């Protein structure tokens, strides 16, 4: 995790709590926006993983094995971002259902959790896309190395 993810969690959690406790009539609007943003994150993850999958042909994997390069590390940020995004959507649904519940602290817990997860999913997309750039660089760099080592 980079520092921006921690900031996003704190800001999202604080904002979710503030809306849940102080402006519960606005919660449904915030839930709708949060769910849409989490959907964008999940879509970005699917696109990133598709780009990587297109580059993982059998010959490339075999040659990377010879060089001792593990490609699994390039997929884990996408998997964790997907998990965070799915949890955010689930908690946003819970928060939307509980927005008008009394006592308000129950909705506050749901709002805090949903807000923190929603902004965390957005912030975690940045390092995931960074690993995509690294992967594309690895693919490009290995082409030159692999041609030299196969000759």
Q: Give per-residue pLDDT as tens, 52-66.
A: 888 888 877 887 788
- Whether the ω angle into residue 133 lies within 30 degrees of 0, i.e. cis, is no
19 pLDDT higher than 70: yes
First to last CA, the chain: 41
pLDDT score for 69:
78
Given pLDDT bands bounded at 50, 70 and 90, which one contains residue 22?
confident
pTM above 0.85, yes or no: no
Given pLDDT bands bounded at 50, 70 and 90, which one contains residue 151?
very low
- By mean pLDDT, which of 31-45, 104-118, 128-142 is the weakest? 128-142
More confident residue, 32 or 150: 32
**Mean pLDDT over all residues of the chain?**
86
148 pLDDT higher than 60: no
Are the CB atoms for 5 and 77 separated by under 8 Å?
A: no
11 pLDDT higher than 90: yes
Are the CB atoms for 1 and 77 separated by under 8 Å?
A: no
- Whether the ω angle into residue 103 lies within 30 degrees of 0, i.e. cis, is yes
- By mean pLDDT, which of 95-104, 113-122, 136-145 is the weakest? 136-145
The first and second tokens of residue 1, run together, are 């995790």
Using a pLDDT cut of 70, give the percent of the chain over it: 95
Give the residue-averaged pLDDT of 92-114. 88
Q: Where are the alpha helices (DSSP H) in the chain?
A: 3-22, 27-55, 58-67, 76-98, 104-150
Q: What does the alpha-carbon distance between residue 93 and residue 102 come to, in Å, rounded to a whole number?
A: 17
Can you tell me which residue has the tokens 């402006």? 23
């Amino acid at each position: 995790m980079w520092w921006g993810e921690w900031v996003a969690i704190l800001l999202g959690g604080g904002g979710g709590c503030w809306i849940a406790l102080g402006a519960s009539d606005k919660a449904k609007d915030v839930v709708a926006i949060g769910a849409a943003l989490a959907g964008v994150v999940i879509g970005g993850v699917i696109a990133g993983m598709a780009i990587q999958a297109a580059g993982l042909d059998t010959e490339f994997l075999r040659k990377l094995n010879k060089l001792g390069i593990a490609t699994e590390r390039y997929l884990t940020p996408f998997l964790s971002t997907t998990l965070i995004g799915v949890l955010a959507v689930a908690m946003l649904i819970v928060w939307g259902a509980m927005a008008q519940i009394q006592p308000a602290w129950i909705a506050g817990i749901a709002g805090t959790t949903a807000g923190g997860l929603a902004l965390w999913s957005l912030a975690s997309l940045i390092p995931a896309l960074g690993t995509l750039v690294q992967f594309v660089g690895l693919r490009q760099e290995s082409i030159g190395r692999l041609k030299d080592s196969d000759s």
